[in-house]
A and B are shown apart, each in its own frame.
Chain A
Amino acid sequence: MKNEVLMEVQDLSKHFTVETSLLGKPVSVLKAVDEVSFTIGKGEAFGLVGESGCGKTTLGKVLVNLYSPTNGKIFFEGKELTALNETQRRSYCKDIQMIFQDPYASLNSRMTIGDIIAEPIIINQLLPKKEVEERVIYLLNCVGLARHQRNRYPHEFSGGQRQRVGIARALAVEPKLIVCDEPVSALDVSIQAQVLNLLGDLKMEFGLTYLFIAHSLNVVKHISDRVGVMYLGKLVEIAPKRELYANPLHPYTQALLSAIPIINPEKKKERIILTGDVPSPINPPAGCHFSSRCFKAFEPCTLKSPVLKEISPNHWVSCHLF
């Protein structure tokens, strides 16, 4: 099942112009996503981790067509989305949905949750009007909410329940791929487990594919099949999750993994403490973007940008050490 590719991303870039000259020429450009390539198999959960500002959310938004890419190609079920015009592309939007990070900001506070979930069904004309309500009740049940709650407003719900509404809204149009952008990072630990389990159940039930974006490595490990690590707009390592967590190759991945506090006070681990902060993406270091903080940096790192190479089957890394 995993051999069939659902989405393929080739050299995708998204640049934002920060400053323009008098004549409107861009002077300084922020490369939020910089020549990123990867594939997501059908029925797979692909995790994307990285620190704030690494471009993971921008990448997610490009894939759901909230931003248009500066460069590169996106293929969905073999069809090149980036070659389509806006109207043609809209018909694919239905297949790729998104769940947002902040359950407080992503629901319209003036609509009942029943209307919020029904809206995408009505816009896409998926069902005759009479059947919409029945479908909404079915979706509410799927995410663990009760049918009588459909007439309530978002402020009457807790963060975890709102996130369930966001999930039901994404499911309403029967998507094939869901981009989950930090779906549990705003939630308390006990609620986080409930939502993660729900996402796992729905994936099995509806045969969904996830692109799971998060900064918390243990959550990503739990839900994903394969994981990609981003740093300053670049993908630096991609591997199946067990391989990545057991045998991280890129120095950044190693530092990231060693920085996670472990829940066992008896076990003190060797920690790689990175010096300094993430550099500004407007003016990243020359060569490898990580070279300014890397504890293994050597000469070629500051001169040449490394490319993603397959070191062992399915384990890709972008580093001059390999």
Chain B
Amino acid sequence: MLLEVKNLTTEFKLKRGTVKAVDDISFTIDKGEILAIVGESGSGKSVTSLSIMGLLQLPGRISSGEINFKSQPLNKMSQEELRKIRGNQISMIFQEPMTSLNPVSRIKTQIMENIMAHMKITKKQALARTIEMLDTVGIPSPAERANDYPHQMSGGMRQRVMTAMALSCDPELLIADEPTTALDVTIQAQILELLYKMREKFHMAVLLITHDLGVVSEAADRVIVMYCGKIVEEADVKSLFAKPLHPYTVGLLQSIPQIDDDSDDRLYMIKGMVPNPLRMPPGCPFSDRCDSCMERCTQEMPELQELDGHKVRCFLYDKVKEGELNAI
């Protein structure tokens, strides 16, 4: 086990009340595994990644729970200690390659800065490593392009530079927050291919945060579905797509137009919209949009229960016992 998140709750204290952006979530990531967290805007997936990295900004703070990386408690460390791990053993790629690179500094300076901060090597060696990394992520003529400024590169290239920077110290865990959302499909295919290759090459684990179920199905080994700060379903990628259990996951999968579907039928719709985080419905957060909502759902919160290795938070599966899942 590489990373363990236990009962993590992250709160934002606002004037109008407290928002639990992440509400009591637990999961683990093993070495070399790609775990995807999917959810719509406001589901708490990005706050989860920022909590792990210790990059939360006020008014956000971790109110309870543990984050253990190789048995070291990340959430109890000082910023100083964290800085030694961040960019080194754990690194992150952000959604916007346009805004997460420094516009007034050359590519090589930015990558070398990270390498020199974590490794005891000379400037010359750091430059050689930078060029090697740029080559690994598929930047043509890396020695020349290393002198470029970010604005001289396209979106796909910048995302490659971000990836090169994140991988420059051989991290054991890479957090990729919507790495392909700002990119075109043909470039997205290139970047996903790259992530996959890098995982094979460096045996790193990846926490992939995305809203795109297509990307999840292509890239992930295991999937967590989040809704309103809660984990509503967790399973390995094959069983999640073959047999989604939670009504929210089922609805999401049905509401996407499929490329190999030739019918002109109306799309399935999940009614309503995500509730206001300050006025959560009592009971299950999805109850007011759910087609199979029962009376009980509006009063109590279902527990996350495990059935044949597939976790789901829904009363529909309350009476189902271990081993009976396939009968449904």
Q: Which residues of A contact B (CB under 8 A)?
A: 51-52, 158, 160-161, 188-194, 196-197, 200, 215-219, 221-222, 242, 245, 255-266, 271, 273-274, 276-278
Cα–Cα, bound, A264→B190 (Å): 19
* Contact (Cβ within 8 A) A194 B269: yes
Contacts of A263 in B (CB 8 A): 213-214, 217, 241, 253, 256, 258
Give Cα distance in the complex from A161 to B185, angstroms.
27
Q: Chain A residues with Cβ under 8 A from B270's Cβ?
A: 190, 193-194
A161 to B186, CA, bound (A): 31
Query: In the bound complex, do residue B40 and residue A188 qualify as a contact, i.e. CB atoms below 8 Å apart?
Result: yes
CA distance A191 to B272 in the complex (A): 8
B213: chain A residues within 8 A (beta carbon):
189, 263
Question: Could you list 9 A-B pairs, sorted by A, with CB under 8 Å?
Answer: A189-B213, A190-B40, A191-B273, A255-B186, A259-B186, A261-B214, A263-B217, A266-B241, A273-B190
Q: How many whole Å from B278's CB to the nearest CB in chain A?
A: 14
Does B121 sit at the interface, judged by CB under 8 A?
Answer: no
Question: What's the least CB distance linking A56 to chain B, in Å?
Answer: 12
Complex Cα–Cα for A218 and B242 (A): 20
Q: Which residues of B contact A51 (CB under 8 A)?
A: 184-187
A-contacting residues, B234-279, CB 8 Å = 237-238, 241-242, 251-253, 255-262, 266-270, 273-274
Contacts of A274 in B (CB 8 A): 186, 189-190
Min distance, Cβ A159 to any Cβ of chain B, angstroms: 8
Tell whether, in the assembled complex, residue B185 and residue A277 are in contact, meaning their CB atoms are under 8 Å apart: no
- Closest Cβ–Cβ distance, residue B182 to chain A (whole Å): 9
Task: Determine if B212 is an interface residue (Cβ-Cβ < 8 Å).
Answer: yes
Chain B residue with the shortest CB-CB distance to A196: B267
Cross-chain contact of A266 among B242, B253, B261 (Cβ < 8 A): B242
B268 to chain A, nearest CB (A): 7
Q: Interface residue tally of chain B, by bracket?
A: 35 or more
CA distance in complex: A200, B273 (Å): 20
Across-interface contacts of B256 in A (CB, < 8 A): 189, 193, 218, 263
Chain A residues near B238: list those with CB within 8 A.
Answer: 265-266
The 9 closest A-B pairs by CB, nearest first: A261-B214, A222-B257, A193-B255, A51-B184, A188-B40, A259-B189, A190-B270, A193-B267, A261-B218
In contact, B189 and A222 (Cβ under 8 angstroms): no
- By a beta-carbon cutoff of 8 Å, the part of chain B in contact with chain A is 40-41, 140, 154-157, 184-190, 192-193, 211-215, 217-218, 237-238, 241-242, 251-253, 255-262, 266-270, 273-274
Q: CB-CB < 8 A to B242: which residues of A?
A: 266
Using CB atoms, name the residue of chain B closest to A215: B184
CB of A262 within 8 A of CB of B241, answer: no
Cα–Cα distance between A255 and B189 once the two chains are bound (Å): 10
Interface centre among A161, A216, A277 (most CB of B within 10 A): A277
Task: Determine whether the beta carbon of B156 is less than 8 Å from that of A277.
Answer: yes
List A contacts of B262 (CB < 8 A): 242
Residue of A nearest to B223 (CB): A265
Closest chain B CB from A118 CB (angstroms): 25
Complex contact B237–A265 (CB within 8 A): yes
CB distance from A265 to the nearest CB of B (A): 5
Residue of A nearest to B188 (CB): A259
Q: What B residues does A266 contact at CB under 8 A?
A: 238, 241-242
Instruction: Give the distance in Å from the alpha carbon of A261 to the alpha carbon of B215 in the complex.
Output: 6
- Is B184 touching A189 in the complex (CB atoms < 8 A)? no
Q: Bound state CA distance, A215 and B260, in angstroms? A: 17
The complex places the Cα of A264 from the Cα of B215 at a distance, in Å, of 10
**Contact at B259–A218, with CB atoms within 8 Å?**
yes
Q: Which B residues touch A197, using CB under 8 A? A: 266-267, 269
Q: Is the CB of B217 within 8 A of A277?
A: no
* B258, B266, B267 pick with most chain A CB within 10 angstroms: B267
Q: Whole-angstrom distance from the CB of A207 to the nearest CB of chain B?
A: 17
Residues of A within 8 A of B189 (CB): 258-259, 261, 271, 273-274
Q: Is the CB of A193 within 8 A of B258?
A: no
Min Cβ gap A102→B in Å is 14
Pick from B187, B215, B252, B255: contact of A277, CB under 8 Å: B187
Residues of chain A within 8 A of B269, CB atoms compared? 190, 193-194, 197
Contacts of B218 in A (CB 8 A): 261-262, 265
- Please tell me if the beta carbons of A262 and B187 are within 8 angstroms of each other in the complex: no
Q: Interface centre among A158, A189, A219, by most B CB within 10 Å?
A: A189
